[in-house]
Amino acid sequence: MGEDILSATPFINGILLGTSLIIAIGAQNAYVLRQGLLRSHVFVITTICFLSDATLITAGIMGLGTLIQNHPDWLTIVALIGGMFLLAYGALAFKRALNPAGLTPAEQGNASLSKVVMITLALTFGNPHVYLDTVVLIGGLSAQYPGSERISFGAGAITGSAIWFYTLGFGARYLAPLFAKPIAWRILDFTIAAVMWTLAYSLLRPLI
């Protein structure tokens, strides 16, 4: 019985770490929340986010984090591309905030699948912090666990990611009555614009 509890510890630690790293409102989370409110391709978006995290966490546990640390110029390139994208997407959110509209059935699911897939991928892989969190940090911390416990730790982190993204995406619909009011969308889009521009500034400032 005691051995079962000990073997579960790396998994639980992985869940706690994985969830804590992604739970802060960021560009990716803000987009998942908005599309969840609109009920637009929610399963596809949340699954892309989850599978992306799972792939990067697995890569980190397998040692890719060390390779990234040895090539910091890779993250510089990602920061430049990601920062420019965040500036542009923030501008779109700001434009929406200036002319908000309430949530109506006609607005739900109006974005094309290809568009939401491309935006989700760009917001996910265009942020160098995702590599630092999943590949470097989680991958580095997994080194303290031997053998199967390392796999358990990584599985926990992946599980935490799944719980967060699916809860955020599908749970957003319960806020739909609130977002029937244009003012709610104005506040959300202004917040999204601020988040995007703040992240863009943090990425681009070291490069200027």
* 189: its two tokens: 């889009």
| Domain regions of the chain by residue span | 2-207
How many beta carbons lie within 10 A of that of residue 159, not counting itself? 18
- Greater pLDDT, 51 or 69: 51
- Number of Cβ within a 10 Å radius of residue 94: 16
* Dihedral (Cα; 136, 80, 54, 156), 10-degree rounding: 50
**What pLDDT score does 122 carry?**
92
- Residue pair 124/28 in contact (Cβ under 8 Å)? The answer is yes
Q: What average pLDDT does the structure give for the chain?
A: 83
Q: Tell me what percent of the residues of the chain surpass a pLDDT of 70.
A: 88
| pLDDT computed for residue 51 by the predictor | 96
CB contact at 8 A, 162 and 43: no
Give residue-wise pLDDT tens across range 125-166.
988 878 888 888 788 778 778 878 889 999 999 999 999 999
> What predicted TM-score, i.e. pTM, was given to this entire model?
0.76
